Amino acid sequence: MKRSTKVISIIIIFFLIIASVIVARTMIGKHFQKKFSKRPPPGIVVTEVVKKEFSEKIETFGTAISNRTKSFRIKKEDLIGDLKLNSYVKKGDVIIKLKSGNIIAPFNGVVGYTGLTEDIFVSDSTFIITLDDNSLIYSDIKIPENYSSVIKKGLPIEAKVSSYKNKIFAGEVDFISSRINAETRSLLTRIKIANTNLELISGSLLEVSVKFNLRNSLSIPDTSVMMEGEKTYVYKVSKDNIANKIEIKIGSRQESNIEVLSGLNIGDIIVAEGLKKVYPRSKIKPIEKGSKNSGSEWKKKAEKNNN
């Protein structure tokens, strides 16, 4: 009898322990569920869908040519005193004083001089002074034949040089040849660039991009796009700061921007950065790109665009 009572007591204690564990786990689960359910939505960088210029480009190379250039051959024995040249002269300025008569600048330009070798002039007593008008820079470039139907006078161009790696010089197509070169299968085209600060030097190698098919299209940052197979998605933010996953159609990519053909409207608010923190129908705390501010301003924009 005593043994039976002991067994029953052990069983009761065992079930009490199990019940205690279950109750404790339930209470802990509810505690953490309550705690994490109050966690604020993540701060996500958002941006507005805007319109930007997109275009196709023809990439090629060319050599910088001065607008005007003139050379003066001078004998050293004709010099008055030591040779001293100003780097820049204006029209009418004295470039150099000579016994036989001063050399006057026929136009504004950059002055330089080059010593010539003996085998050309028999002696080293002669040198050349050059005057280059670099206010405008021209370059003759070759456009492949298959682009001949789109190349037109006045098309914008962009040029780069190795000495100014991060600078883009803007210009336009100035002249187009009337025929295709049968040997190179290319169309000779002249471009011009306003060289206001005289940064481009004659003879420099130019990396040229001729822009055509210019258009103003909806634009979004490339960091906002999700690719799934052949489909493209973004998270569009509603007036209630809910991120909705929507499919869009995209066009060309230009620098860090992507052209949007359909699926969005100008002024829509989308997630720009932090896609890994977002999932469909989740609530977010919008943060303007490049700012620490969030919330009300973007909510007003979203309400305006959704109405």
Q: Is the dihedral of CA 213, 219, 221, 227 positive or negative?
A: negative
Q: What are the domain boundaries of the chain? A: 43-55+216-306, 65-203
* Per-residue confidence (pLDDT) for residue 220, from 0 to 100: 96
Q: Are 75 and 296 in contact (CB under 8 A)?
A: no
Read off the amino acid at residue 169.
F
**Number of Cβ atoms within 10 Å of the Cβ of 258:** 23
With 0-12 CB in 10 A as exposed, 13-18 as middle and 19+ as buried, what is 188? middle
Q: Kindly list the averaged pLDDT for each block of 10 residues, start to end, along the chain of length 307.
A: 67 77 75 60 89 94 95 86 80 90 92 59 70 96 95 96 92 96 95 94 95 95 93 94 95 92 95 91 84 52 54
* Per-residue confidence (pLDDT) for residue 122, from 0 to 100: 40
Tell me the β-bridge partners of 80: none
Closest alpha carbon to 255 in 158, 141, 116: 158
Please state which CATH number belongs to domain 43-55+216-306: 2.40.420.20
